[in-house]
């Protein structure tokens, strides 16, 4: 699951970081009665070296040490109710480097009628 850390002593940064170690689930609720298409973007950085994260549709991104980056994971069909997305580090057993997530957001994808 997700961990939590503040880096104010180490970096003078007062943000609340969510920590991905081996894997964690992102839970998103669609409160409507219909499927909604969204673009999913994550902002974060690796700590103590680079970190590969596997996300939506098997897409991967390599985050770099202390470099705050945005990763657009592409379109996601949100079904009514709870939707889960597993984020995972395929190399955790080799190198235990955390990923620090600063923010995640969704943008509506207009559908042609």
Q: pLDDT tens digits for 66-86? A: 999 999 999 999 999 999 999
Under 8 Å CB-to-CB from 106, ≥6 apart: which residues?
28, 38, 39, 40, 41, 76, 78
* Dist CA 43 CA 21 (whole Å): 16
pLDDT digits (tens, 9 = 90+) for 12-55: 777 889 999 999 999 999 999 999 999 999 999 999 999 999 99
CA distance 49 to 2: 19
* pTM of structure: 0.86
Q: Domains for the chain: give ranges and CATH numbers.
A: 3-108 (2.60.120.260)
């Amino acid at each position: 699951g997700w961990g939590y850390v503040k880096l104010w002593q180490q970096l003078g940064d007062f943000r609340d970081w969510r920590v991905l170690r081996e894997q964690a689930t992102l839970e998103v609720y669609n409160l409507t009665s219909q499927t909604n298409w969204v673009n999913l973007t994550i902002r974060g950085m690796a700590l103590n070296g680079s970190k590969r994260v596997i996300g939506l549709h098997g897409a991967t991104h390599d985050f770099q040490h202390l470099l705050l980056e945005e990763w657009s994971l592409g379109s996601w069909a949100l079904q009514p109710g709870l939707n889960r997305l597993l984020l995972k580090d395929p190399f955790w057993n080799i190198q235990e480097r955390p990923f620090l997530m600063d923010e995640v957001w969704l943008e509506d994808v207009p559908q042609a009628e």
